[in-house]
Amino acid sequence: MKLDQAIEIAERIRAELAPFCERVEIAGSIRRRKPEIGDIEIVAIPRMVESGFLWSNPEIHLGFCIAVARYQAVKGKPTGKYTQRLLPGGIKLDLFMARQENWGLIFAIRTGSAKFAHRVVAGGWCRAGYHSVDGMLVKGLRKIPVCEERYLFNLIDLPWSEPWERNL
């Protein structure tokens, strides 16, 4: 589909999810402003609500799960780290769940391009002595919070590039 059509669809999905998220943004080829878009990619930090005995068990907000479940499941669950959904017209939605402490890492990777994320971003963190475990950067035994993309770029000594410049 064309970029304008993809933006319209992605913005509608983002607006549906926003009331149930701490943060939700469009990523992927839409964020990189590619003229032709194959799928919609969104990164979200769903709101957590307390449940269970003495409110000791945080769970993803039911509204988020209901909003995501409106669309046909292809892979994953709304309560996991990733789910793929089929939107009307056969358009795929890739929805990635992040946490505050790994937003910058997940958002950078999911903005892509795939080659940029692999060669430049992942290559950068490897050269800097980090590795990725369960969506977090790790150095030695210590998890390193990466709350923003710019922090990630600085951390791995990578010059900032705008999303539309991240194509290899």
**Domain residues of the chain, as ranges?**
3-97, 112-165
Reported pTM: 0.93
pLDDT value of residue 49? 87
Which class is 112-165 in CATH? alpha beta
Rg (CA), the chain: 16
Residue 13 CA to residue 113 CA, distance in Å, equals 22
- Pick one of 2.30.30.60, 3.90.470.20, 3.40.50.300, 3.30.460.10 as the CATH number of 3-97: 3.30.460.10
Q: What is the per-residue pLDDT across 35-65, written as a single tens digit (0 to 9) for each?
A: 999 999 999 999 998 775 655 677 899 999 9
pLDDT value of residue 59? 87
Give alpha helix (H) positions in 55-144.
62-69, 103-111, 114-115, 123-127
Q: Indicate the pairing of strand 142-144 with strand 48-51.
A: unpaired
Residue 126 CA to residue 85 CA, distance in Å, equals 32
Give the residues of the chain that fall short of pLDDT 50: none
121 close to 104: Cβ distance less than 8 angstroms: no
| Other residues' Cβ atoms within 10 Å of the Cβ of residue 145 | 15
Angle between the 3-17 and 62-69 helix axes, to the nearest 10 degrees? 150
Residue 151 CA to residue 165 CA, distance in Å, equals 18
